Amino acid sequence: MSVTVIVPTILRSLTNQQKHIDMEGSQVSEVIDHMDQQYPGIKEKLVANGDAHRFINIYVNDNDIRFQDGLATSLRDGDVLTILPAVAGG
Amino acid sequence: MIKSLKDCTVSGPFKTLPSSAAAMGFSLSYQSDRLGLKVTDAGNHADRGIFSFGFSAPQVRPINCVITGWGDCDQPGAITESMMQAACGLMSVHGRSTGTIQPFGLPYVSTVTTALALQGGMAAALGNLRGLSVSESHISMAAAALLSTSQYIADATITSLSESLPFGDADYSPAPPFVSADGIVFELETLNPDPWLIFWMKLGISRPLAGKGWTAFLLRYAKAIAPIPDELVRAVSKLAYTDISRLCADAGMAICRVRTLDERVDNEHFKSNWLRGPWVFDYAAPQPDFPLIPASDSLPLSGLTVIESCRRIQGPLAGHLLALLGAKVIRIEPPGGDTLRGMPPVSEGCSVRFDALNRLKVIREIDIKSPGGQEEITEMVRHADVFLHNWAPNKALELGLDHADLHRVNPALIYAYASGWFMNNEGISSQSPSLPGTDFMVQAYSGVAHKISQACGTRGGTLFTALDVLGGIIAAQGITAALLNRQLSHAGARVTSSLLGAAILLCSDDFQSRHEFFDCVPPVQSVLNQVFETEKGKIAIECLDEDTLQRLIQALDLPSGDENELSQRLDESFLSRTAAEWRVILQQAAVPAAIVMEDLNDLYGDPCLQPYLETGSYTRVTSPWRFQ
């Protein structure tokens, strides 16, 4: 599956300042693995102990993957995978 | 109360203030009294600004503390709370979640202004004791209001393209709080998505929809909105409150009923909290060889070092205020940095909302959970003046970084805890709720949310983080008082403040109205306090008395009529001119009025606000204090 990954500002130093990256993968975890091959170091920013890092939000088409199947969330052609750092405050 | 500050005096025109400044006069009087300062009435000091008061400490020249409305822009006529809420963007932030721009029914800017003014006076006296020669501390209501919204201003004014938060496209209700089948209004809280998911699935909500709700829920702190899908609001409205409470307990989610102020003000526990004030102070023994640390530049806290280990808003804002007063603030962050540095929107590699509160600090990355990290912090504290944290209850003890641990290495230390609920130094009070110490929980519990709902015709409080901000301000104020006390008595101290204390301060006039503890009159309600649509823009009007309302009626050339007719005629009349035109007309008629700042991007365009703002990759709010 071909998907577009939107990279947050804070991680763009790892992606040669690219904001949008086209990647392949049938699950979120596969996409992250492929990203890590191309942009080493990005996986450890996104994944901790086999799950999405607590302070990272990953959305597939605006749906938080923690409310789907986590890193095993399946992807379809044309999906947009958005990575956002923590948004909570207070 | 700090007994050692009993020789310091606050002297102001508390009994002769105009009604527009009564809320400030009352709050200043309450804060001063609870800090143990001697409060005296000293006639009218309104030679400049709204009013001024004197702050005097033994051995040094007194400080004239001037409070203005707009700083150099002040013109004759009353300047009111609602004018400031309107002109400085608070109303628009508050109105985001309800869709209606309106005053939020609390003396918020007045309270923040007086807390900062009193802090300015104490800091200036401390500076004088340390070699400065300050004679005046100046603050404006506008500067205080802008400081309160600095994170929202940063968020709105970022100049580079940054990521935006997903809003979703579901139908949504305006905002929490929720309402149960038996009509009980309540707030939910969790900082973790798992309890949220479990709770909503028990109510039959699908995972994706619960996820949409979670995304909306997170926007409360970031954007002051919470577009919760309607399906969630409806699902919870079908159950009784006790059943919802049970589901929350099972899921691990917190729930708090929106309690009325009436339930609070007659409570004995609340009464003791109110009588103590928003801080708790404990003192160490005086140090015979306490050194004089001279000020290192013209700012009153220069030369002093603060170690801060805080997250989110309340604690970091306290550290920021101390930095604005000249202290060197060393901020401890976990290895890799605080994750909120990446919180959208980001500019130049850092969240602008984060930067707004932390830009003046020196960062040290330390793992506070490791023995090596704890040792490093203890060593840093040995040479510091203040240690400030906002950790969860009991965490300081677990880390070996409690006040007793750190006072052992530095007996002159000011050990400060900016907490959620903590109201005494002997442990968490048995009557404090076992709820997360977050802004919206404390608003619900304390009566603040209900008070706002009564003023606004809404169900609950404000998603503007009113208590986090005021909590940060009173934490910094308590630290400054403790530093002044230390300079006078050579004793270190522990100072604890809380969001609940901030809530009590914000509603202190309600308690006074009921119990008349102090010899002063609490502020009265305005006879008209409303926002009107005009031909272009909105205008906020606040008539504090009947005479002002009559001047408004004459200025608009309205016939006399009953209240309902008047309301309708006002609505219609204001549509005939622009807000800017009405402001000129109403200024001439001596009716308090301000154009509502609907877009925070427009703040810098107001020449009266520019002195407190600085443009760049985002608009920064500068120090609210001016010292001479």
Q: Do A64 and B215 touch (CB under 8 A)?
A: yes
Question: Taking 80 as the threshold, does the pLDDT of residue B44 lie above it?
Answer: no
Q: What is the mean pLDDT of residues B357-379?
A: 98
Q: Which residues is B257 bridged to in the sheet?
A: B186
Q: Tell me what pLDDT residue B162 has.
A: 64
Task: State the pLDDT confidence band at B430, using cuts at 50, 70 and 90.
Answer: very low
Would you say B423 and B437 are in contact if contact means Cβ atoms under 8 Å apart?
Answer: no
Distance CA B71, CA B67 (A): 8
Distance CA B105, CA B103 (A): 6
Tell me which of B426 and B75 has the higher pLDDT: B75
Residue B172 DSSP code? B
Residue of chain A whose Cα is closest to the Cα of B465 = A90
Give tens-digit pLDDT for B325-349.
999 999 999 998 998 998 888 888 8
Q: In B215-226, which positions are buried (b, 16+ CB within 10 angstroms) versus exposed (e)? A: bbbbbbbbbbbb
Question: Taking 90 as the threshold, does the pLDDT of residue B114 lie above it?
Answer: yes
Q: What is the mean pLDDT of residues B357-372?
A: 97
Count of all residues that appear for chain B in the document: 628
Same domain, B469 and B494: yes
Q: Is residue B308 part of a domain?
A: yes
% of chain B at pLDDT higher than 70: 93
Looking at CA atoms only, how far is residue B131 from chain A in angstroms? 38
Tell me which of B521 and B11 has the higher pLDDT: B11
Same domain, B488 and B459: yes
To probe the interface with A, which of B218, B462, B469 has the most A CB atoms within 10 Å? B218
Retrieve residue B346's tokens. 């980001």
Q: Is residue A81 part of a domain?
A: yes
Q: Do B218 and A87 touch (CB under 8 A)?
A: yes
The Cα angle at residue B361 between residues B357 and B363, in degrees rounded to 5: 115
Question: Taking 90 as the threshold, does the pLDDT of residue B435 lie above it?
Answer: no
Same domain, B252 and B267: no
Would you say B45 and B75 are in contact if contact means Cβ atoms under 8 Å apart?
Answer: no
Q: What is the mean pLDDT of residues B400-421?
A: 96
| Strands A2-6 and A20-24, bridge-based pairing | antiparallel
Q: Do B312 and A90 touch (CB under 8 A)?
A: yes
Same domain, B152 and B269: yes
Same domain, B340 and B382: yes
B433 touches chain A (CB under 8 A): no
Same domain, B340 and B487: yes
Residue of chain A whose Cα is closest to the Cα of B193 = A66
| Candidates A9, A67, A89; nearest CB to B346 | A9
Same domain, B73 and B185: no
Q: Do A67 and B465 touch (CB under 8 A)?
A: no
Q: Is residue A90 part of a domain?
A: no
Q: Do B346 and A10 touch (CB under 8 A)?
A: yes
Average pLDDT, chain B: 91
Give tens-digit pLDDT for B476-505.
999 999 999 999 999 999 999 999 999 999
Distance CA B44, CA A82 (A): 60
Task: State the pLDDT confidence band at B165, using cuts at 50, 70 and 90.
Answer: low
Question: Taking 90 as the threshold, does the pLDDT of residue B291 lie above it?
Answer: no
Q: Which domain holds residue A15?
A: 2-85
Q: B466: which chain A residues are within 8 Å (Cβ-Cβ)?
A: none
Q: Tell me what pLDDT residue B168 has.
A: 46
Count of CB pairs separated by less than 8 Å, A with B: 91
Residue of chain A whose Cα is closest to the Cα of B169 = A62
Task: State the pLDDT confidence band at B45, using cuts at 50, 70 and 90.
Answer: low
Distance CA A32, CA A51 (A): 12
B159 touches chain A (CB under 8 A): no
Look at chain B and report how many structural domains it folds into: 2
B162 touches chain A (CB under 8 A): yes
Q: B435: which chain A residues are within 8 Å (Cβ-Cβ)?
A: none
Q: Which residues is B414 bridged to in the sheet?
A: B386, B493
Residue of chain B whose Cα is closest to the Cα of A59 = B166
Q: Which residues is B514 bridged to in the sheet?
A: none
Would you say B484 and B414 are in contact if contact means Cβ atoms under 8 Å apart?
Answer: no
Q: Is residue B534 part of a domain?
A: no
Q: Do A90 and B220 touch (CB under 8 A)?
A: yes
Residue of chain A whose Cα is closest to the Cα of B160 = A9
Looking at CA atoms only, how far is residue B429 from chain A in angstroms? 23
Retrieve residue A90's tokens. 């207070």
Q: Is residue B396 part of a domain?
A: yes
Same domain, B97 and B204: no
Looking at CA atoms only, how far is residue A68 from chain B in angstroms? 7
Retrieve residue B503's tokens. 């809530």
Look at chain A and report how many structural domains it folds into: 1
Q: Tell me what pLDDT residue B2 has.
A: 52
Residues 6 or more apart whose Cβ sits within 8 Å of residue B551? B589, B590, B591
Q: Is residue B329 part of a domain?
A: yes
Tell me which of A11 and B140 has the higher pLDDT: B140
Looking at CA atoms only, how far is residue B163 from chain A in angstroms? 6
Q: What are phi and psi of B404, to 5 degrees?
A: -65, -40
Give tens-digit pLDDT for B526-547.
999 999 999 999 999 999 999 9
Retrieve residue A1's tokens. 């599956």
For residue B210, count CB atoms less than 10 angstroms from its CB and return exposed for 0-12, middle for 13-18, buried for 19 or more: buried
Looking at CA atoms only, how far is residue A34 from chain B in angstroms? 23
Q: What string of DSSP letters covers A40-87?
A: TTHHHHHEETTEE-TTEEEEETTEEGGGTTGGG-B--TT-EEEEEE--
Question: Taking 80 as the threshold, does the pLDDT of residue B172 lie above it?
Answer: no
B346 touches chain A (CB under 8 A): yes
Same domain, B51 and B143: yes
SS3 of residue B534 by DSSP: coil
Rg (CA), chain A: 12
Q: Do A86 and B468 touch (CB under 8 A)?
A: no
Distance CA B463, CA B95 (A): 9
SS3 of residue B255 by DSSP: strand
For chain A, the distance separating the N- and C-terminal CA atoms, rounded to the nearest angstrom, is 39
Distance CA B566, CA B569 (A): 5
Q: Is residue B445 part of a domain?
A: yes
% of chain B at pLDDT higher than 90: 73
**Chain A residues whose C-beta sits inside 8 Å of any chain B C-beta:** 6, 8-10, 13, 55, 59, 62-64, 66-68, 82, 84-90
Give tens-digit pLDDT for B574-626.
999 999 999 999 999 999 999 999 999 999 999 999 999 999 999 999 999 99
Q: Is residue B414 part of a domain?
A: yes
Q: Is residue A11 part of a domain?
A: yes
Same domain, B8 and B146: yes
Q: Is residue B8 part of a domain?
A: yes
Would you tell me which residues 437-466 of chain B have a C-beta closer than 8 angstroms to some C-beta of chain A?
438-440, 465
Q: Tell me what pLDDT residue B457 has.
A: 87
Q: B210, B228, B257 — which closes off a domain?
A: B257
Kind plus residue range of the DSSP H or E element containing B316: helix B314-324
Task: State the pLDDT confidence band at B170, using cuts at 50, 70 and 90.
Answer: very low
Distance CA B594, CA B540 (A): 5
Distance CA B267, CA B270 (A): 5
Q: Which residues of chain A have pLDDT under 70?
A: 87-90
For chain B, the distance separating the N- and C-terminal CA atoms, rounded to the nearest angstrom, is 29
Residues 6 or more apart whose Cβ sits within 8 Å of residue B417? B388, B389, B390, B391, B396, B403, B494, B495, B496, B497
Q: Is residue A34 part of a domain?
A: yes
Q: Assign residue A81 the CATH number of its domain.
A: 3.10.20.30
| Strands B254-257 and B538-543, bridge-based pairing | unpaired
Q: Is residue B54 part of a domain?
A: yes
Same domain, B501 and B426: yes
Distance CA B107, CA B507 (A): 8
Task: State the pLDDT confidence band at B562, using cuts at 50, 70 and 90.
Answer: confident
Would you say B141 and B84 are in contact if contact means Cβ atoms under 8 Å apart?
Answer: yes
Q: A84: which chain B residues are within 8 Å (Cβ-Cβ)?
A: 163, 165-166, 344
Q: Is residue A24 part of a domain?
A: yes
Distance CA B10, CA B156 (A): 39
Q: B451, B482, B515 — which closes off a domain?
A: B515
| Candidates A59, A66, A85; nearest CB to B342 | A85
Q: Which domain holds residue B243?
A: 178-257
Question: Taking 60 as the threshold, does the pLDDT of residue B54 lie above it?
Answer: yes
CA distances for B265 relative to B256, B503, B508, B515, angstroms:
18, 12, 10, 9
Q: B313: which chain A residues are within 8 Å (Cβ-Cβ)?
A: 89-90
B393 touches chain A (CB under 8 A): no
Q: What string of DSSP letters covers B420-432?
A: SS---TTSS-TTS
ipTM confidence: 0.91
Q: What is the mean pLDDT of residues B307-315?
A: 96
Same domain, B113 and B216: no
